[in-house]
Amino acid sequence: MKRTFYLILSIPLWGMAVGLPSCSNAPSAVEQRKAEIREHDSLEIVQAQLQLQQADSLAVFKAFELEDLKGLFVFEKQEEYQTTGYYVLPKYAGNKSKFVFFPEVEEGGALLLVSINKKREYSFQQVDVTDENYVAALPQGLSDAVKADIAQCYALAKAMHDVSQAKETQEKLKLKIKFYQEKQKRNR
């Protein structure tokens, strides 16, 4: 019991002898840490603003690319019974039923491969536009002309996806900037 008492008493004395920081320095350490956090937040804002400028430029570039690609397609939507329209190549526009297989791009950006059987039943296969190796997922036995049509539709769907991703990135960066600015206002 006596040992414990002496040990407890000797720790503060030993700390003073070796020069451990005292409590009087604690407020300055806290203020220093707050200043470091404010500096970090300022850097986060600057970095996010630079990234936002890059995202804005990319979004504008991708939007122009998308508009150019849309010019190669015909937009079809029958308002009476369709809620979603489709971009198709001009040779498929109007009467798709004379084809047994054709690609189309949903207005939301999904690339669909449409097959029509002899009973005139439609089946759809969606192609993942984030997969650069989409050709491996294509049905076997397609002609080179149909593969070229699919490649054009893939380019349109990919551009739509890229524009969507650029807008999403812009929104995330704007939220990040707003968060750090609000945090700075609270911590002043």
Q: Report the length, in residues, of the chain.
A: 188
DSSP letter at 117 equals: -
43 found inside a domain: no
130 found inside a domain: yes
Residue 173 binned pLDDT confidence (cut-offs 50, 70, 90): very high
Percent of the chain with pLDDT over 70: 84
pLDDT (mean) for 142-156: 88
Range scoring the smallest mean pLDDT among 26-30, 56-60, 166-170: 26-30
DSSP for 1-46, written as a single string: -HHHHHHHHHHHHHHHHHTPPPGGGHHHHHHHHHHHHHHHHHHHHH
63 found inside a domain: no
Its domain, for residue 143, covers 73-160
Rg (CA), the chain: 31
Helices (H), 19-135: 26-70
62 found inside a domain: no
pTM here?
A: 0.72
65 found inside a domain: no
| Number of domains forming the structure of the chain | 1
Task: Answer whether 88's CB lies under 8 Å from 74's CB.
Answer: yes
